[in-house]
Structure 1
Amino acid sequence: MNEALLRSLTPNVLGILVRRGATFAAAEDAVQDALVEAVRVWPADPPRDPKGWLVTVAWNRFLDATRADTARRRREDRLDEEPAPGPSATVDDTLQLYFLCAHPSLTPSSAVALTLRAVGGLTTRQIAQAYLVPEATMAQRISRAKRAVSGVRFDQPGDVATVLRVLYLVFNEGYSGDVDLAAESIRLTRQLATAIDHPEVAGLLALMLLHHARRASRTAPDGSLVPLAEQDRGRWDTALIAEGVAILQAALARDRLGEFQAQAAIAALHADAPTAEETDWVQIVEWYDELAGLTDSPVVRLNRAVAVGEADGPRAGLAALAALTDSLPRHAAVAAYLHERDGDLATAARLYAEAAHKAPDLAERDYLTRQAARLNARLSR
């Protein structure tokens, strides 16, 4: 059974049913039934037109469910027309599904789950495993999301920025269980890039590839975090870096700069440096200035303070940091790093311990705790 084929066909089949008049929730249920039937039937009797087979079976399942619901008799009369035999239509509804799954009525977590289910073709169990939540919890989340968008029509242009934010959220979830969400988000973004010619889609894809290229070097064999400056650059995926840089250059040449292109440019400068010492921090600061102008994000300004500290010295970095509230995530960790570089080990040790207490995950907490312990050991000599 070709699972990749089924997953690639799922959004098109779902879009066809919705375009024919099925609600999103009813269409999604029917498509899932058709996929289950395909897993049962195809190994012994593979169809000549897999997409057409799935459309026919899913549509029949939808009609069966509609007929069984007496409250929808009038709607059944309008829809009960058997599709003509032969190859299915070639209209690609995948892009519209992206916009539907990123509907503003949905919370970010619901939008991500719905995207993975409807566009990614993942099962509820797989999505639940990836998010480390019970399957029943994820099923409820997806059901609520489907109900929220069930009445949305595909007659308005979608918000590309919202779709990209959802895909970036998927990427940042990383991976767990049997679904690698980082790789899945790259697959989905590649799919989106073939459906829409937009420099920010290309920028996001480039950013993902450049970050993903460093994945193997980000953790030690014991699972502990390895900071960028200490990573083994020989383990970086040069093919992904080259692809990401080429995609980014083509996007930047269109002179329609967006936040994902700017982030990708920063990632490319890190990837281009043979060693941490050879990083072009001056140019990175310039790109952070561009990014801050595009987003006015305090998190961007926090990262810029680190870059300023590398380009102009730790005291310049601390001055940039002073303009930001200390309630920002990782503010204490950045302050600790800059104070250590400035020679104030006692303040740095205290801030590393404070940052460890606020760390969002165990790996980061362990890393920051070790930094605090390292400095305290030096201070006690």
Structure 2
Amino acid sequence: MTEHEGAIPGRILRRLLPAEREVAGLLGLMLLVHARHEARTGPDGEIVLLGDQDRGRWDRAMIEEGAGLVIVALTGPYGVQAAIAALHDEAADVATTDWPQVVALHDVLLALAPSPVVALNRAAAVAMRDGPEAGLALLGEPAGEPRLRDHPPYPMARAEPLHRLGRLPEAAAAYREALGLAGTDPERAYLLRRLDAAETGTRTSGPGGTAGA
């Protein structure tokens, strides 16, 4: 997918509705997410999540354009999502990401457009800001939500902090749950690698799966 193909719906809307801030936010979000496209897969097509991506392969011109749109769009849900994406894209690595600001923006997004998925993403960000225990405490809250029942990122979001804490049997169980929900071969291959690491006692110190791809 070329840059033009990745952003064309947003660019069309922006030309048609240049004064609409949410349209600017949508285009900004599309650009900031698509800027990572080339780094999302490895040489064999395997999934590379955000924390493990080679940020040198991200499209900096696209990031700059998307971040510029955030400035005029930070009033609605798309603008807030774009601002979150910009914080990830502009950070040198996961460790130096402004996690307090990421959590604060998720708080704003929950107020504007509350949903179990936003709450799930906020919990993952809290795990990065305050530690895996804090994230796990929040991840227990949406467990009974029907819209998360078949949502693979939910057990995955639990598995990663459990893995970081060395609670390997619990992490393995969560990876197996996510594996049963995975919809593509690359997703299953990634989860099988993580499951193997948990089952063989290999702990992880990094948040490779944090904050999306």
TM-score, normalised to structure 1, is: 0.50
Matched, 1:280 2:101: no
Distance 1:305 1:338 in 2: 11
Q: 1:189 corresponds to which letter in structure 2? A: G
Correspondent of 1:297 among 108, 112, 115: 115
Correspondent of 2:14 among 176, 190, 193: 193
Distance 2:3 2:160 in 1: 28
Deviation at 1:364, TM superposition (A): 1.1
Query: Which of 1 and 2 has higher RCO (CA within 8 Å, sep 6+)?
Result: 2
Distance 2:46 2:130 in 1: 30
Deviation at 1:361, TM superposition (A): 1.8
Deviation at 1:331, TM superposition (A): 1.3
Distance 1:310 1:303 in 2: 11
Correspondent of 1:218 among 28, 32, 40: 40
Unaligned runs of 5+ in 2: 203-213
Distance 1:331 1:187 in 2: 31
Correspondent of 2:139 among 314, 321, 341: 321
Which residue in the other structure is 1:356 paired with? 179
Correspondent of 2:170 among 323, 338, 347: 347
Distance 1:237 1:376 in 2: 37
Deviation at 1:185, TM superposition (A): 5.5
Distance 1:240 1:287 in 2: 21
Distance 1:377 1:364 in 2: 20
Q: What per-residue deviation string (whole Å, max 9, x for no partner) do you get for residues 323-370 of structure 1?
A: 112551121111101111222111101211111111122211211111
Deviates more, 1:243-252 or 1:319-328: 319-328
Distance 1:246 1:182 in 2: 17
Which residue in the other structure is 1:237 paired with? 59
Distance 1:204 1:282 in 2: 23
In 1, are the aligned partners of 2:6 and 2:34 still within 8 Å (CA)?
A: no
Distance 1:341 1:183 in 2: 39
Distance 2:78 2:125 in 1: 18
Q: 2:183 corresponds to which letter in structure 1? A: P
Which residue in the other structure is 2:205 paired with? none
Report the 3-state secondary structure (helix = DSSP H, G, I; strand = E; otherwise coil) of the residue aligned with 1:277.
Answer: coil
Deviation at 1:182, TM superposition (A): 7.8
Distance 1:182 1:258 in 2: 25
Report the 3-state secondary structure (helix = DSSP H, G, I; strand = E; otherwise coil) of the residue aligned with 1:320.
Answer: helix
Runs (4+) of structure 1 exceeding 2 A deviation are: 180-185
Unaligned runs of 5+ in 1: 1-179
Distance 2:66 2:2 in 1: 19
Deviation at 1:276, TM superposition (A): 1.4
Which residue in the other structure is 1:32 paired with? none
